[in-house]
Amino acid sequence: MKNETLAEKINQTLEELWLLLEAKERTYTNFQLNNQQYTLLTLIIRHPSSTPTALAEKMNITKSAISQQLVKLEIEGYIYRKQLPEDKRTFSVELGEKGLLYKKEMERFMQQVSEKYYASLSPEELTNFLSALQKLTKVIDKL
């Protein structure tokens, strides 16, 4: 197989895997969120107390777009804004009651996924796969 074809197949497989995981997650958690809101909540879980500016940078979208989604998530009770003591003009984004529920559901889903990984792949295969994905991430980040 040619290198270009192989790289294309890898990209397609990663996209398919991401779409499959996202669809399974949505079915499992049953929250009514759009793609940006799912991504935003995931970032807030992984990076607690982030500012809207930091979240916008991580998602590579404007602060205005983040603000719109944060307002919607706040109205629904997924997040709340907490003023930073060192700068009264800035606030961090924290998980609200629904956000904490979402986090618990995500953790349960990820536990099920992990169990499937370990049932189907050896620890060595998983380690090699993780290493390859980390290398690919660094390559793509340098583009």
In the predicted model, what is the mean pLDDT of the chain?
90
What is the arithmetic mean of pLDDT over 40-57? 93
Could you tell me if residue 42 is left (phi over 0), alpha (psi between -120 and 50 degrees) or otherwise beta?
A: alpha
Please compute the mean of the pLDDT values over residues 99-123 and round it to a whole number. 94
In DSSP terms, 81 is beta-bridged to 93
- Give me 84's structure tokens: 């930073």
Q: How confident is the model at residue 26 (pLDDT cuts 50, 70, 90)?
A: confident
In this model, does residue 3 exceed pLDDT 80?
no
Cα 51 from Cα 57, distance rounded (Å): 10
Q: Is the pLDDT of residue 86 over 90?
A: no
Is a pLDDT exceeding 80 seen at residue 1? no
Mean pLDDT value across residues 95-108: 95
When pLDDT is averaged across residues 102-130 and rounded to a whole number, the result is 94
Would you state the pLDDT for residue 138?
93
Q: 28, 116 in Cβ contact below 8 A?
A: no
Averaged pLDDT, 7-30: 87
